[in-house]
Amino acid sequence: MSYNEKLYKPGPRKLLACDGGGIRGIISIAKIDSDLRASNECPNLVLSEYFDYVADPGIGAIIATLVSLGCSVDEIRDFYLETGDQNPVNSGLRPGHPYLRVSLLPL
């Protein structure tokens, strides 16, 4: 769906708020993604096809941007693991950190 189609479509809008901070936000969207794919019987669904708006402060804003660009949850997780240690908020959660190893097996 194009930007204009989303902007001018009738009816209520759906907002995805990725609150949870960093890796918890990725875990949250992975669950939402899985539930939506199952309930819509659409294995290739990406969150940007379902939600009209995506928002969050902090690290969640990066997740929200990637969702709005149509990235899959796997792409978002990979991006976070590759670049997460470059954000000062995540200084304690670098790739290889035990919390990340446990939390990211398989989404």
Whole-prediction pTM? 0.62
106: its two tokens: 């398989």
Task: Write out pLDDT tens, residues 23-40.
Answer: 677 788 888 899 999 998
CA–CA gap between residue 51 and residue 14 (Å, rounded)? 5
Q: Give the model confidence (pLDDT) of 49-81 as tens digits.
A: 888 888 776 677 778 888 888 889 888 888 888
Dist. CA 79–CA 107, nearest whole Å: 15
Please check the confidence at residue 90 and state whether its pLDDT lies above 70: no
Distance CA 73, CA 98 (A): 21
Confidence of residue 1 (pLDDT cuts 50, 70, 90): low
